Amino acid sequence: MEQEIRIDIGPFFRRHGRKPSGRGYWVFQIVSPLATAKDHILAPQEEMAFKAACERALEVAALRRATRVLLLPE
C-alpha cells in the first residue's frame, strides 16, 4: 500500500504569513530516503498556478519515492 504524500506549506507560511495561492514561481524540496547527495529541489522555470505546481511536485515525489515535500519560501 502506497503512502499518500502531502505538501508541507509550513516554511512558506512562516515566511509570508499567508497560505500559498495564485500564480508564482513555486519552489519545492523533495525529501527522499534514497541515497542521494542532497534532497531534490524542484524549481520550475515558468510561472505556474499553485495547484498545477503542486501536482507536478507530487509526480516528481512519487518517482523519487519521496517521504515529504516542502514548499520553500523563495
pTM across the whole model: 0.86
The C-alpha cell of 23 is what?
Answer: 500564480
User: Left (φ > 0), alpha (ψ -120 to 50) or beta: where does 17 sit?
Assistant: left
Residue 2 lies in a domain: no
Give pLDDT, residue 16: 96
| pLDDT exceeds 70 at position 2 | no
Q: What is the pLDDT of residues 11-43, one digit of tens each?
A: 999 999 999 999 999 999 998 877 555 668 999
Residue 51 lies in a domain: yes
Residue 23 lies in a domain: yes
The C-alpha cell of 55 is what?
Answer: 501536482
Please provide the average confidence, as pLDDT, over all residues in the chain. 89
Question: Total structural domains in the chain?
Answer: 1
